[in-house]
Structure 1
Amino acid sequence: MNTNAIKTKLIYPFVKVPNGKALSGLTPREGSSEKFKKYVIFGHQRCGSSLLISALKAHPNIKSFSELFTPNYITFNNHGYDNYSLPLLKLRNKENSRFLENVIFNKQDKKCQAVGFKVFPDQIKATNFQDIWNRSRMGIAVNLFLKNWVQVINE
């Protein structure tokens, strides 16, 4: 066995965390806060939502997730979150609102000002998104639309 292997333990109890360190989004800590804005980015493929998520993720006081409602896996795109965790996938598929509240919108570092994710139309249709929206008390909705520039040039 490789003695240099990273030791992991389970927190929340689904997410493997290197060296037993708690992740800010999963384990309430001393000085943690629930005073942050919740946001959702609504978009279509190729509309720039990944660029916006990357820009938000670069901000030290914003926690940004990718596509949380893809059918066969969860695209957290955040360090320490397992995109292929079967227990988290089952929780998300069975209880969307509980998944968001306990995994995504759990207590954050005091400096955190906003936490959110993006969603596409096919993912909205596959979930009871109205219920998710109401229960999670989302504060900010960003709608991204992509103009067909080829059509504009030809007009």
Structure 2
Amino acid sequence: MDSPVKFVLLGHPRSGSTLVTVALQEHPDIRMFGELFHAEFQNRLIAYQWGISRRPSTYMSSERTQDWVYTDHQRGDRFLEDLVFGDPSEDRPAAIGFKFFYDHARAPRAISAWDYLRDDPEVRIVHLVRENLLDCLISTMTAEHTRVWEIEAETYEKTPEPPPFVIPPADCAAYFEKMTALRRRATTELAAPGRAVLEIEYERDVHSDFDGTLRRVQEFLGVPARPLPQRLRKLSRRPAHVLIANYAELSRHFAPTPARAFFDGTGAGHARRHS
């Protein structure tokens, strides 16, 4: 049997990564884990359970699953080699991957996960970005205000909209700078000659052409393309100038800077120039 294609869904919070992850988990030839290096153990446990829930040969006891979840005393590279990609079983799928954010696995022992990925050019990268960082920040703050992080399609119309909120200009600028720096660092660290990389953008690709984009991802991973469900929806249906109470102030503040593109509907170009 051929070795599975190894891949990571590289990205950042509020970029549609959960939507793509949940869709890929529905493919019978893909084993898709969630955020294996999340800061919280419970989230890591859920992320690992997502990946093995469709694995017939696994004895699915909670005790055994918890033994396999990444813990801070482990090396990140050994964890990936042994418990994520290193599956010798007959029922292993054609592709195995996990969701990996720019700031994941940065602790002293976990950081060897970056070495593992960098040193193996066979690991394919599906790089998911949301180029308008203002929309990312709005989505983050909406989730924090409502305590709702995902909305299933069935409950979309019943989910209340959050009230408008204020974003201090300094906080907004700091967020833009942080996300730009994290993206630059991650893409530099994983750059390797001959590595296969597929970049997809949330608004342009995932939101506007979900079916076509997921088909491209499946083809990139070398698995038969099939329709995959779109189970989640955006947190808010209202535009930025309605959600942000001080939108006019922010727009004036960033008008002399490249970040003005986030306020005039052309944020994609700005993000590319800063990446």
Matched, 1:42 2:10: yes
**2:79 paired residue number:** 99
**Cα displacement string for residues 6-35 of structure 1 (whole angstroms, at most 9, x for unaligned residues):** xxxxxxxxxxxxxxxxxxxxxxxxxxx461
- Unaligned ranges ≥5, structure 2: 54-59, 136-239, 241-261, 267-275
State the Cα distance separating 1:96 from its structure 2 match.
1.5
Q: Give, in whole Å, the separation in 2 of the partners of 1:101 and 1:81.
A: 22
Q: Give, in whole Å, the separation in 2 of the partners of 1:116 and 1:41.
A: 7
SS of the equivalent of 2:114 reads helix
State the Cα distance separating 1:152 from its structure 2 match.
5.3
Bigger radius of gyration, 1 or 2?
A: 2
Q: 1:87 to 1:56 in 2, by over 3 A?
A: closer
Question: TM-score, normalization: structure 2?
Answer: 0.38
Matches within 5 A, 1:4-153: 33=1, 35-73=3-41, 74=44, 75-76=47-48, 77-78=50-51, 79=53, 80=60, 82=62, 85=66, 88-90=69-71, 93-105=73-85, 106-109=87-90, 112-126=93-107, 127-128=110-111, 129-134=113-118, 138-148=122-132, 150=240, 151=262, 153=264
In terms of fraction of residues, the more helix-rich structure is 2
Do 1:38 and 1:138's aligned partners in 2 also have CA atoms closer than 8 Å? yes
One-letter code of the match for 2:75? E
Q: Give, in whole Å, the separation in 1 of the partners of 2:264 and 2:31.
A: 38
One-letter code of the match for 1:46? R
- Residues paired across the two proteins, number: 122
Q: Give, in whole Å, the separation in 1 of the partners of 2:2 and 2:10.
A: 23
State the Cα distance separating 1:56 from its structure 2 match.
1.1
Do 2:9 and 2:125's aligned partners in 1 also have CA atoms closer than 8 Å? yes
**Cα displacement string for residues 88-117 of structure 1 (whole angstroms, at most 9, x for unaligned residues):** 433x64222221122111224457210010
Computed over aligned residues only, the root mean square deviation of the Cα atoms, in angstroms, reads 3.0
- Unaligned ranges ≥5, structure 1: 1-32
**Cα displacement string for residues 107-130 of structure 1 (whole angstroms, at most 9, x for unaligned residues):** 244572100101112214333233
Q: 1:154 to 1:60 in 2, by over 3 A?
A: closer
Q: 1:110 to 1:136 in 2, by over 3 A?
A: farther
Q: 1:112 to 1:86 in 2, by over 3 A?
A: closer
Question: TM-score, normalization: structure 1?
Answer: 0.63
